[in-house]
Amino acid sequence: MTTATDVHGGVSAARGFPLAAVRGLALALVSLPGAVVCFVTAVVSVALIPVGVGIVTTPYVLRGVRAFADLRRVLAAEWGGVRIPRVYKRLPEDANPWARTFGMLGDPATWRDLLWLLVDMTAGFVTAVLTAALLVYPLEGFVVAAGLWRVLPDPWWYGFVPVSGQATALAAGALALALLLAGHVTAVRLLRAHFLLARAVLAPGAGELAERVRVLTETRRDAVDASAAELRRIERDLHDGAQARLVAVGMDLGTIEALVEKDPARARELLARARQSSAEALTELRELVRGIHPPVLAERGLGDAVRALALRLPVATEVSVSLSGRAEAPVESAAYFAVSEVLANAVKHSGADRIWVDVHHAEGRLRITVTDNGRGGAVVGAGSGLAGVERRLGTFDGVLAVSSPAGGPTLVTVEIPCASS
């Protein structure tokens, strides 16, 4: 369900450079001392295990290391748009120091943390410092070129330029400009590289797999629960509805058979009733079928099914569809019922008088947005219809996003990864 947001658009290169430089500086200031302190204490603490002291200290020290790594995870997500999964083994709350220490040391994530500390204090530090230097060093060059060279010792080395007079000072200025331009182009990427480096060391393939297994287990349980509940509902509806009515029809027909000679008038009356019952049974079956798999969806696919749905709403609804082919039937069905629930929600709660639905398929994802001009304030809370939608979409790795500020408008986005045939 979680997808790493790899591209963090937002910040333009022009505004991004100074920001990246400041962030790089902050990272450099934190990473080198932080990593060194963490690493040294960790090594010392582990070394002290045979003496006994280490047994007590190691859990605390390693927890400190994790906190330090967590800070980087947060910054990676916020500053670089790089998501680093956090997969530490969980230890029982009441574990004794011994079990705690060896439990943590047995966790591969711990060793990745320690390895990362080494990488962070070297390569990580360099990438961070470089990001900052690309802004600071050109500034020095400009100041030197602007006249500071007169009071500096002769020759003053700026990069590879020995500044000793006006001409060389200007050369230094040119070099500074070139560096500044280079920084403009690379700084944001360099900062990102710092976080990608951290991810490469901290995030294990196996960890992602474990996370995936957890999510799959959860969504599978939801799917099984939902389909069991659905079957129960269908069984109940059939039992109390169509089935009962057909029994009544059968009984009436039996009575009619007996009455047709003796009391034709009464038989005709019963015939009318039997016909009425069978018509009602049909109506109920029709509603039931619509709830299981809407006929339009089977006949026409998602686009027209959503159009037909919109035509049934009491609120003016515009539907635009851009689909090249049909998605797999289960995905279509999940998408249809998600839209249906979102639309029902909008009609019931938003007070909107216009709704817009957009259905399209792009980059391997089916994406549906429902916008209304109502009063907003919709939430994916426990027990709300939207929470149910989110759960059911989970089976398909789909996501539901709701943006609904008080006062509106409400924008609900449903996204399901799928291939379109």
Partner 1 sequence: MRVVLAEDLFLLRDGLVRLLEAHGFEIAAAVGSGPELTRALAEEEPDVAVVDVRLPPTQTDEGLQCALQARRRRPGLPVLVLSQHVEQLYARELLADGDGGVGYLLKDRVFDAEQFTDAVRRVAAGGTAMDPQVIQQLLARRSAQDRPLERLTPREREVLELMAQGRTNAAIAARLVVTERAVAKHTANIFAKLGLEVSDDDNRRVLAVLAYLDHGR
Question: Rule CB under 8 A: is residue 289 a binding residue for partner 1?
Answer: yes
Segment near partner 1 (CB under 8 A), from 248-256, 282-290, 379-387, 395-403? 282-290
Other C-beta atoms closer than 10 Å to the C-beta of 283 total 13
In this structure, are residues 202 and 168 in contact, taking their beta carbons and an 8 Å threshold? Answer: no
Segment near partner 1 (CB under 8 A), from 118-126, 144-152, 185-193, 283-291? 283-291
**CB neighbour list of residue 292: distance below 8 Å, 6 or more residues apart:** 230, 234
Smaller CB separation from partner 1, 34 or 294 = 294
Radius of gyration of the chain measured on its C-alpha atoms: 34
Q: Give the three-state DSSP class for 106.
A: coil
Question: Rule CB under 8 A: is residue 147 a binding residue for partner 1?
Answer: no
- The whole-angstrom separation of Cα 99 and Cα 97 is 6
- The whole-angstrom separation of Cα 244 and Cα 228 is 23
Question: Rule CB under 8 A: is residue 112 a binding residue for partner 1?
Answer: no
- The whole-angstrom separation of Cα 73 and Cα 219 is 26
In this structure, are residues 215 and 391 in contact, taking their beta carbons and an 8 Å threshold? Answer: no
Smaller CB separation from partner 1, 136 or 289 = 289
Q: Which of 78, 240, 299, 328 binds partner 1 (CB under 8 A)?
A: 299
Question: Rule CB under 8 A: is residue 314 a binding residue for partner 1?
Answer: yes
Question: Rule CB under 8 A: is residue 224 a binding residue for partner 1?
Answer: no
Q: Which of 167, 312, 325, 381 binds partner 1 (CB under 8 A)?
A: 312
Q: Which of 53, 200, 316, 344 binds partner 1 (CB under 8 A)?
A: 316
Provide the minimum distance between the beta carbon of 277 and partner 1 in the complex, in angstroms, as a whole number: 11
Q: 368 vs 46, 323, 351, CA distance in Å? A: 53, 11, 21
Segment near partner 1 (CB under 8 A), from 14-22, 166-174, 250-258, 277-285? 277-285
Smaller CB separation from partner 1, 167 or 311 = 311
Strands (E), 159-227: 161-163
Q: Which of 206, 228, 253, 298 binds partner 1 (CB under 8 A)?
A: 298
- The whole-angstrom separation of Cα 259 and Cα 267 is 6
Burial class, 413, CB count within 10 angstroms (exposed 0-12 / middle 13-18 / buried 19+): middle
Q: Which of 29, 226, 313, 411 binds partner 1 (CB under 8 A)?
A: 313
Q: Which of 74, 275, 292, 405 binds partner 1 (CB under 8 A)?
A: 275
Q: Which of 279, 344, 362, 401 binds partner 1 (CB under 8 A)?
A: 279
Query: Where do contacts with partner 1 occur on this chain (CB under 8 A)?
Result: 275, 278-279, 282-283, 286, 289-290, 295-296, 298-300, 304, 307-308, 311-316, 353
